[in-house]
Amino acid sequence: MTSIELWNHCENPYPFVPAEVLDAADSVRASLPNKYCDPHIAARLYDEIWEEYRLCDDIGLHIVTNEHHSGINNLWAASPVITGIVASLTRKVRILSLGTLVTVRPDPVRVATEYATIDVISKGRLDIGFVKSGATEMVSGNANPMHIREREWEAIDLIDKSLTSHEGPFSWEGKFFTHPHVNVWPRPYQSPRPDFWAATSDLPTCAELGRRGYVNTLLFGGYDRTRKAYDAYKDARAAAGLPKAGEDRFSYMAFCYVGDTDEEAMRIGQKIPWFLTVSIKSSPQFSKFQPGAVAPEMAPAAWRGGASKRPTDMTVASLIAQGQMFCGNPDTVARQIKEFRQRVGGVGRIIMMTRQGLMTHEQAMKSFNLAANDVLPQLRDLPPIDEELRVAR
């Protein structure tokens, strides 16, 4: 029997820049002047979201933080700072940092130290997530966008060793990072270390996550891409002779709004695709023409197709149909999640992106309450996945 966990992921967006400014800007990330970010409004946003996190702690929704820089999409500019605050605000739920951008951080040992500290403060409630990142983050973080996947793996390996070495300093002289004297204090609360997650739909990377046993999370992958990614994970484990992974190794982030009625949820939920229609606008040099953004052989398709065009026709209905959004009354959302689980071959951790765009604090609180009180109970003790049904689709 499987029980699905629900996690709340809020990026703390800043949607209060005038539309004419956003329309005229080349990019709403990396280069938008911070004069458009009013610190008084930002302070209110942080307060509101701390309150949402306290609610999550009371009602059993786990919490995800992440990190983006220099743009309207995200005021979590330093995930370890935010995660440390969340650790102190909460008492019960797990906290996932997904994650600080190890591809732009110069010293993974410092990252390990920050995470070990948070794990101790939270008394073992931390999970550590990794994202490759790219595009505007390489610009904001002045990180060479080439070879970032290789750099990310070396950073992960060094963080892993930093968190699990307890017999005094060790030395690391890798391709991307050198540190002759690694000795992290405090050591993490959890043993051997907090669980590792990584966000990716890249199949070779999913396979490597499978061999390592990390949690594989996909962001808005929809049914097909998600199933292929999870299958790559499972196949790699099978090929390596490793035991079958439980559903807790698979996670999925979707837009989500739970209302009293389907009609209310769809109406309020329509605020969430702001994330796609407004907050990812990037200049061509920060997107399709950034070195490493696409493999050279894929360049003709990406460049001719205008990869940086903004989608403008994102309706809740189309997002639901593609498996990218769970939205409706509690029964509807529970049914959508169970359907998703079935079609992708099992998933144990659903991450809800709810407070997005101009969604208000009150609207977000309402959805969280309904998700915890009326959706979550329907996701407990689920029967095993019907493999035949999955293949038939």
Minimum distance of other proteins from residue 307's CB (angstroms)? 12
Side-chain-facing half-sphere of 172: CA atoms under 13 Å: 23
Give the C-alpha separation, 21 to 287, whole Å: 20
Which CB, 151 or 179, lies closer to other proteins? 151
* Span near other proteins by CB under 8 A; candidates 70-78, 90-98, 136-144, 377-385: 136-144
The residue type of 113 is T
Site for other proteins contains 214 (CB under 8 A): no
Which CB, 71 or 273, lies closer to other proteins? 71
β-bridge partners, 315: none
Q: Looking at 139, 184, 254, 276, which residue binds other proteins (CB under 8 A)?
A: 139
- Helix, strand, coil shares of the chain, percent, nearest 5, are 45, 15, 40
Which CB, 69 or 187, lies closer to other proteins? 69
Tokens of 312: 């403008």
Which CB, 135 or 236, lies closer to other proteins? 135
Give the C-alpha separation, 171 to 166, whole Å: 13
Which CB, 1 or 295, lies closer to other proteins? 295
Q: Looking at 3, 88, 144, 191, which residue binds other proteins (CB under 8 A)?
A: 144
Degrees, nearest 5: CA angle 229-231-232: 65
Minimum distance of other proteins from residue 187's CB (angstroms)? 33
305: left (phi over 0), alpha (psi -120 to 50) or beta: alpha
Give the C-alpha separation, 361 to 352, whole Å: 15
Minimum distance of other proteins from residue 293's CB (angstroms)? 9
Residue 88 φ/ψ, nearest 5 degrees: -80, -30
x/- mask, other proteins, residues 258-297, rule CB under 8 A, reads -------------------------xxxx--xxxx-x-xx
Minimum distance of other proteins from residue 148's CB (angstroms)? 11
Which CB, 60 or 284, lies closer to other proteins? 284
Q: Please provide the DSSP assignment of 118-164 as one string.
A: HHHHTTS-EEEEEE---THHHHHTT---TTHHHHHHHHHHHHHHHHH
Minimum distance of other proteins from residue 177's CB (angstroms)? 14
Give the C-alpha separation, 85 to 118, whole Å: 9
Residues in contact with other proteins, total (CB under 8 A)? 23
Which CB, 297 or 362, lies closer to other proteins? 297
Which CB, 165 or 285, lies closer to other proteins? 285
Site for other proteins contains 173 (CB under 8 A): no
Give the C-alpha separation, 261 to 298, whole Å: 44
Minimum distance of other proteins from residue 141's CB (angstroms)? 11
Which CB, 60 or 145, lies closer to other proteins? 145
Tokens of 178: 């050198």
Site for other proteins contains 142 (CB under 8 A): yes
Minimum distance of other proteins from residue 282's CB (angstroms)? 11
> 180 to each of 47, 106, 170, 242, how far by Cα in Å?
41, 15, 7, 34
Three-class DSSP category at 268: helix
Q: Looking at 33, 88, 106, 146, which residue binds other proteins (CB under 8 A)?
A: 146
Tokens of 135: 């595009």
Give the C-alpha separation, 141 to 106, whole Å: 10
Minimum distance of other proteins from residue 24's CB (angstroms)? 14
Q: Looking at 36, 46, 223, 303, which residue binds other proteins (CB under 8 A)?
A: 303
Which CB, 8 or 283, lies closer to other proteins? 283
The single-letter DSSP state of residue 371 is: I
What is the footprint of other proteins within residues 16-75 (CB under 8 A)? Answer: 26
What does the binding site for other proteins look like in residue numbers (CB under 8 A)? Answer: 26, 139, 142-147, 283-286, 289-292, 294, 296-297, 299-300, 303-304
